Structure 1
Amino acid sequence: MLSRFEDLLASYLDSSIEQPLPIVQHFSEALHVSPASLGDVLRTHTRQNAQQHLYYALLEKARRLLLSTSMSLRETAFHLGFDNPSYFSHLFEHKTGFTPAEFRQTA
């Protein structure tokens, strides 16, 4: 189940179509398991709950976009599915210790 989840998540994040933020419910339905069961599998294998795992994947994609594109921070946030660029910046800074702009400048 973990590898199927990872494949689904990678496809979701690599899609060129702008999509809303990924949610646990979307992936649990695609895998035909409950959100709790998906969370248990992820916690067992990654030591992260499902939401943490999704945020980690989003932030990894954000890092790649910030380093490899000239998209503005606002465009990056919308591309990742955030409705609010400020929330994207807050989450990025909370999880990485850098604002997206600082990360882009120091990398």
Structure 2
Amino acid sequence: MKVCLVCSHGGHLSEMLRLMEAFEGHEAFFITYDSIRTRQLQRRYLLHNIGKSPWRMLRAAIATLRILRRERPEVIVSTGSEIAIPAFYIARLFRMKTIFIESWTRVVQPT
């Protein structure tokens, strides 16, 4: 199964990397932000940080659309942050399965 892993760098990436054992035997690739740490990932597509800019969100959506059309994953998994928004909207359009994993660092109150 081809799996797309979408997460920002930092804590969201750390959580995703802890889940990598679950994807053994599957073809997995990352869509994440460009950073020193993410450049070390084997299969990755690196985007510029979206931040709060609607224009950057649009650019990220176009880039994500191209990636998902090229790769055609069966499922998209995300631990967050805003980088998952365009990926999940596009997944909905193409009827792709999605899994969002809420942060396990907050166990007393919502994030």
Normalised by the length of structure 1, the TM-score is 0.31
| Larger helix share, 1 or 2 | 1
Normalised by the length of structure 2, the TM-score is 0.31
| Larger strand share, 1 or 2 | 2
| Bigger RCO of structures 1 and 2 (CA < 8 A, at least 6 apart) | 2
